[in-house]
Structure 1
Amino acid sequence: MNTPERLHPLQYACYHARSRAGEQFIPDHAIGLVISGSFVVNDGLETQVFREGELYFCRRNHLSKYDKRPPENGEFRSVAVFFTEEMLRRYSLELGYQPAGHSNAGTFTRLPSPSVLGNYMASLRAYEGLLSQPGTSELLALKQKEALLLLLQAAPELKNVLFDFSDPGKIDLEAFMNKHYQFNVELKRFAYLTGRSLSTFKRDFEKIFHQTPGRWLLHKRLEEAHYMIREQHRSASDVYLDVGFEDLSHFSFAFKKQFGVAPSVAAD
């Protein structure tokens, strides 16, 4: 899954229907505010739900599945401010901020919603119309810096996350893959997140699992889908995204090839 280019530090979302289309690799730190509806996230370890008026911090270099749910007879709306590594390095020098140590913060951190930061994020709705206008980059950069300073005031412990510019260290490959196999990302992402080059990742993977990453991922995802369909009575159209497939027809073809029956037959 390719990561979309960040055109602005401010991002707005609006959906009339439920949307499960979200980045599964998080490239930048971000603050988000749910304006209406609910935002359900899963990073392979836990599921969290952020509802209308709630504020969260999202950590870069992690995997997550997004589920944006509009309220009844309404639309899902949110606003987010993204902090690129380049921007944070610049402000680290300007403000003299350095991480004091490693942080064990999770992928998503719930922030105090009734707060100055929450009020500030809500005020950004007024700037939505400026994103398509020329000559607004300096203004948006100032709003981004203001959001960063308010975040550090609201959650000072996140300084060790925001200004840690090191790449992910080498971690337990077997444990990581068993927790994150359902994320539809390229092998180079899995390699990076486990602290390995792509060639080292493939070599270590085959030593542990005794097959190629591609073959193991396909088998693992189909086994999980088979369980969901047969035991949880879910439909193929409901599970294929959850287990890491992008295309329903490809999922159905691979499922029948592995189990000898179509997903609809396996459910009976």
Structure 2
Amino acid sequence: MADKSENKGKILYNCYFNRSTEGEQFISEHVFSMQMTGTLTINDGKKTFVMKEGDFRLSRRNKLAKFVKDMGTEGDFRSISVYIDQELLRKISQEKGFTNITPSPVTDAVLVLKNSALYKSYMDSLLVYLQMPPQEQQAIMDLKVREAVLLLLQVNPELKNILFDFSEPGKIDLENFMIKNFRFNVSLSRFAYLTGRSLSTFKRDFEKVFHTTPSKWLLDKRLEEAHFQIANKGRTPSDVYLEVGFEDLSHFSFAFKNKYAVNPSALR
């Protein structure tokens, strides 16, 4: 059976067979998900979250995360996710009077939600609606996203401090953030946004702190981490190149040899 990924606007159904995948992403909107089969391992640079069959989670907006999707006992990986946009949340916040929210002190990229029969029945209903003709889906899917928000508030009322926090990233300590997050392969503009800066201010502040350009620092830092992992931990280049922030193995090997005058595989 072929792999399948169905994106119906705000609803995403993922299905993979006989292969594991890994990658990383910037989470731009809150996402309510159920792990149907297989295992999803998520790392936000601080913590690792392991989602197994039947688990529910809320992935938070404006977060970076690396993930690994592993097959279940039947050789498949399936999940269903609901993307909750800010426009809808602003409307609901006005309706419910959630206009003076104190932001949650929890900073994790992923919140593991308690299992609930309400969550399960809701996710099951989405699978039925995904089978409808496209022209009939839009209005219903918009209602289902609203239903997801109301359901989250009913089962986990404390989530209002996360869902209705509309603040954008403020200017934070650049050195600390970059040292924690250099392994994420995202654009400089994304790093700038997450540290509460324009791109030009980010570059200017970066050179003041690190005395070099962001691009050069990121390359050197990723190569240094890769060198340590290969030389000291006995790992292979193919094990580490994605983990430290490179897109492909050939680019990593070229950059590594250029810096250390040796192929990364020769270190083992």
Q: TM-score range by the shorter chain?
A: over 0.9
Mapping of 1:14-29 within 5 angstroms?
Answer: 14-16=15-17, 17-22=19-24, 24-29=25-30
Q: 2 CA distance for matches of 1:91 and 1:114?
A: 23
Q: Provide TM-score, normalisation by structure 2.
A: 0.92
The AA in structure 2 aligned to 1:185 is V
Q: 2 CA distance for matches of 1:124 and 1:21?
A: 26
Q: 2 CA distance for matches of 1:71 and 1:249?
A: 31
Q: 1 CA distance for matches of 2:211 and 2:191?
A: 17
- Determine if contact 1:41/1:67 at 8 Å carries over to the other structure: yes
Mapping of 1:64-213 within 5 angstroms?
Answer: 64-105=65-106, 106-130=108-132, 133-213=134-214
- Determine if contact 1:42/1:64 at 8 Å carries over to the other structure: yes
Give the aligned partner of residue 32 of structure 2: 31
- Over residues 76-115 of structure 1, what are the superposed CA-to-partner deviations in whole Å (9 max), with x where a residue is unaligned? 0000111011221222233333252121222111101134
- Name the SS for the 1:228 alignment partner: helix
Post-superposition shift, 1:235? 1.5
**Relative to total residues, which structure has the larger strand share, 1 or 2?**
2
**RMSD between aligned alpha carbons?**
1.5
Give the aligned partner of residue 217 of structure 1: 218
Give the aligned partner of residue 51 of structure 1: 52
Structure 1: unaligned runs, 5 residues or longer? 1-5
- Determine if contact 2:43/2:65 at 8 Å carries over to the other structure: yes
- Over residues 208-246 of structure 1, what are the superposed CA-to-partner deviations in whole Å (9 max), with x where a residue is unaligned? 111110000000001111111122222211211111111
Q: 1 CA distance for matches of 2:241 and 2:98?
A: 44
- Determine if contact 1:98/1:160 at 8 Å carries over to the other structure: no
- Name the SS for the 2:35 alignment partner: strand
The number of equivalent residue pairs is 260
Q: 1 CA distance for matches of 2:227 and 2:125?
A: 46
Q: Provide TM-score, normalisation by structure 1.
A: 0.92
Structure 2: unaligned runs, 5 residues or longer? 1-6
Q: 2 CA distance for matches of 1:259 and 1:122?
A: 53
